[in-house]
Amino acid sequence: MNDTTTYRLADHAAAEPLINRWVAWPHVFSPVPYSLHMANYQRQTLASYLQNPAIHAKSCRNPKLLGGPFVDVPVDRANEVRALLDELEQNHQAESALAQAVIAFQHTLVEEAQGQGINAYYEKIPEPLGGYVELLYDYFARPHLRCLESLLYASPYYQKGLQALQLFSQTSDDERAYYMSTPRLPQADRIDWTLPFEDQRIDALFQLDSVPAPLGEIRELLGLSRADDARLLPLLTDEPAGLAEPWRGEGVRLRYFGHACVLLEYHGVAILTDPFIPVLPRAGGIERYSFRDLPARIDFVLISHAHHDHFVFESLLRLRHRIGCLVVPRSSGMFYGDTSLKLMAQHIGFREVREIDALEEIPFPGGAIVGAPFFGEHSDLPHAKSGYIVRHGQERILFAADSNCLDPRVYRHVCGLLGPIGTVFLGMEFIGAPLSWVYGPLLPMQPQHSHNLSRRSNGSDAKAALALLDAVGAERVYVYAIGREPWLKYFMALTPQDGDPYIQESDQLLDAARASGFKDARRPYGRLELHLGGA
C-alpha cells in the first residue's frame, strides 16, 4: 500500500473524548467537580461492579435500568476494571483528598459559621484547598465556599495527561455503552490517542473530515506505524469529500440536526446551537444530517448550558477548527458546581469564547444574537444557562432548549423590549431526572427522598409551553431537545416507546397550537429543513 494515497475520515468514524478512560462531559472536567465525581461516583460504581460483575452485565441488558449505575463491561474483563479502580485509588489520592476536603470543610462552615466574622476560618482551610477558595456569607448569613476555578485549572488537580481520544468505526447507533457508568477500556480494533484536548493536532485530525491527506501523514499524526493499519484503515476512505455550501438564498434556512442542534444560515452567516452531531454508522439508521452537512465555516456556536447533551465534547472538538466564536452563558461562580463554560472552552482549545447574559447582544451582518432568560432544568441549583434569540431583519427566533416557563411575565418583558418572537424552538422534557441523578456526586449531603423527587431537571409541560408561546406572540413552534434520536441513547438513557409521556405532552401542545391558527407546529425527528422570510 502506497503511503502517499490520500484518505479522509469515513462518515462512520467516531472519536470519543475520554478523561482517564471515562467519557468526557462537564462534570468530569473542571477540577473540583471532577474530583467529587471521581470519588463519589466513578470509584463507587467500579467497586459495585467488582462485587458482582454478572449482575451489572444483566442489568445493562434491561431497558428499564438504562441510565443506572451499572458498568457495561463483560465479566471476563473484570480484571481490567479492577486495574482501573486500583489506578484511581493509588494515583489520584490528591483528587480524593480535594473531594473530601471540599465536603468536610463545607460541613464545618455550616455547623460553626453562624454569621460572625469568617476571616478566622481561613486558618482552618484544609491543605488541599489552601489558596484555592474564598469564604463568603449570603445575605441570610449562610456560609459558602467559593472555589477560584481559574487557579484550580493551573493546579496539579487539573491533569491534562488523562485526556485522550478513542477512535473507532461505529457500526450502529446503539452500540455505545451508557456514558456515565461505563469506562471505555482499550479494544483491539480501536485507537487510543493520548493528548490534551487543547492540542491543535486534534484540528489536523478532524480537518480530515473534508481535506484528505496521505496515509503516511495520518499515521505520523496519530503516532502509529504500518503495523497499526488494520485499526486505522477502517476509519478512512479514499472517496471524495465535500462540505455543504453556505446558504445564499433569501431569508433564513434552518436545518435540524437532532436534539437541541439547529443550524441557522442567513446572508452568509452560519449559527449552530448546542452541537450534538451524529456520525453515519455502517449499519445505517434513520435519516440524519452529519458533519458533512455543515459548512466549512460556522461563525457562531451557541451553548445553552453545561449539561452533557448540550456541551458535547465530542462534537465541539471535531468542529473546533470550523468555529469562529463559541458563545456561552455566564457563570456566577458562587457554587463549585456552577462551573465557568468560558474556562472550560478555553481549556479544550477554543480561542474565541464570549460569555453572554440575558439581553446582551452579539451583532452580525443583518441581525444579532441576544441572550434570553432561562429558568428551570437544573433542579433549582444555580448554573450558567441561557436561551438565545436570533434576530434577522424583522424575524426573531427563540431557542429555548430545556427551559421551563415558570413565569411567563419574564418573556413578556423580553418581548416588550425586543418585539414579538414569531418562531420558537422549545424543549419539553417535562418530567426530567431527579436531583441526585446528575448532581448527587457533587452534593455535600444526599437530599431527602421527597426533595430528590420534587427537584427535577425538567422543562416545560404543555401548559407552561402554551403560556410561553402566548407571552412571546409566537406563530411557529418546533418541539425539540427531548432526546428521541437513536444516536442519543448512550447519553440520554431514553428508549422511545408507544405511549411515551413526552410525546403525549408535546402532542397536546402541538394540537393546541394548530387549533389556534399557528403557521407551523411540529416535533422534528432526525432531520428537518425550514425556510423563513424568503420569497
CA atoms within 13 A on the CB side of 171: 4
Q: Could you give all domains of the chain from N- to C-terminal order, each with its CATH number?
A: 6-92+163-237 (no CATH), 102-153 (no CATH), 252-532 (3.60.15.10)
- Who contacts 291 (Cβ-Cβ below 8 Å, separation ≥6)? 11, 209, 277, 279, 318, 319
Q: Give every residue of the chain whose pLDDT is below 70, as ranges.
A: 1-2, 534-535
The confidence score (pLDDT) of residue 534 equals 64
4 in Cβ contact with 216 (< 8 Å) = yes
Rounded Cα distance, 316 and 321, in Å: 9
Among 176, 232, 206, smallest CA distance to 348 is for 206
Helices then strands, each counted (H, E), the chain: 17, 25
Dihedral (CA of 447, 448, 451, 456) sign: positive
Rounded Cα distance, 250 and 258, in Å: 24
The confidence score (pLDDT) of residue 499 equals 81
Type of residue numbered 235 = L
The confidence score (pLDDT) of residue 438 equals 87
β-pairing, 269-273 vs 298-302, is parallel
88 in Cβ contact with 38 (< 8 Å) = yes
Q: Classify the phi-psi angles of 87: left when phi > 0, otherwise alpha if psi is within -120 to 50, otherwise beta.
A: alpha
Rounded Cα distance, 65 and 152, in Å: 36
Q: Rounded to the nearest 5°, which phi and psi values hold at 253?
A: -110, 130
Rounded Cα distance, 197 and 191, in Å: 16
Rounded Cα distance, 117 and 212, in Å: 64
For residue 203, what is its C-alpha cell? 484540528
What secondary structure, in 3-state letters, does 130-161 show? CCCEEEEECCCCCEEEEECHHHHHCCCCCCHH
For residue 185, what is its C-alpha cell? 477500556
Rounded Cα distance, 527 and 258, in Å: 6
- Who contacts 236 (Cβ-Cβ below 8 Å, separation ≥6)? 7, 8, 9, 10, 13, 208, 215, 218
Ranges of H-type helices in 13-160: 31-37, 43-51, 53-60, 78-91, 93-112, 149-153
